Amino acid sequence: MKDVVKYRPVPKGQYELATRFGNIIYTAGMTPTVDGVLIKRGKLMASHSEETYRLIMQQATCNALSVAEDELQKGETISQVISMTIYINAEERLHGHARIADFASAYLMEELGQRGIGSRTTVGVSSLPGDSPVEVQLVVGVG
C-alpha cells in the first residue's frame, strides 16, 4: 500500500487553508490531494472493503494537520486536537462511516499520540467539491 505524502494544499477559492484565533487553529476542509491532484475521486461504495479507504482518509487528515502545523510559531506545538469533522461522499448503501473515519483518528494518534484524539463528527453527503471522496476539517489547540 502507498504511504501518506506530506503535502501543503493550495486554496481553490477565496479562503484561508487555516485560520488562527488566539491559541486555536481552524482548518478548512482538506481533501486527499497530492501535488494538487486527488488521489481518488467519487463516492465511497458499500461493496468495497472499508480498508480500501484507509489511504484517502489518512492523506486528507495529513493535509489538514499540515496546514494546522503551518500556523505554529517557533517553539509551539499542537497541544490537542479539539475536534475533527469528516465528510464522506457516500453512496446511500454505505453505513460504515464511523469505521472509515477511524482511519483519520488512527493517523492523528500516530502523529500526535493521545493529543491527536478529540471529539469527532462524521457526516455522509451526496457529493463533495471536485468529486472528492472525503474531506477532513480540524480544530486544534496550540501550546
The CATH number linked to 40 is: 3.30.1330.40
What's this model's pTM, rounded to 2 decimal places?
A: 0.95
pLDDT digits (tens, 9 = 90+) for 109-121: 999 999 999 999 9
DSSP state of 29: P
Q: How far apart are CA 22 and CA 61, in angstroms?
A: 23
pLDDT digits (tens, 9 = 90+) for 38-56: 999 999 999 999 999 999 9
Q: How far apart are CA 131 and CA 51, in angstroms?
A: 20
pLDDT digits (tens, 9 = 90+) for 7-18: 778 888 899 999
Structural domain that includes position 93 = 35-142
Q: Total structural domains in the chain?
A: 1
In a domain, 69, yes or no: yes
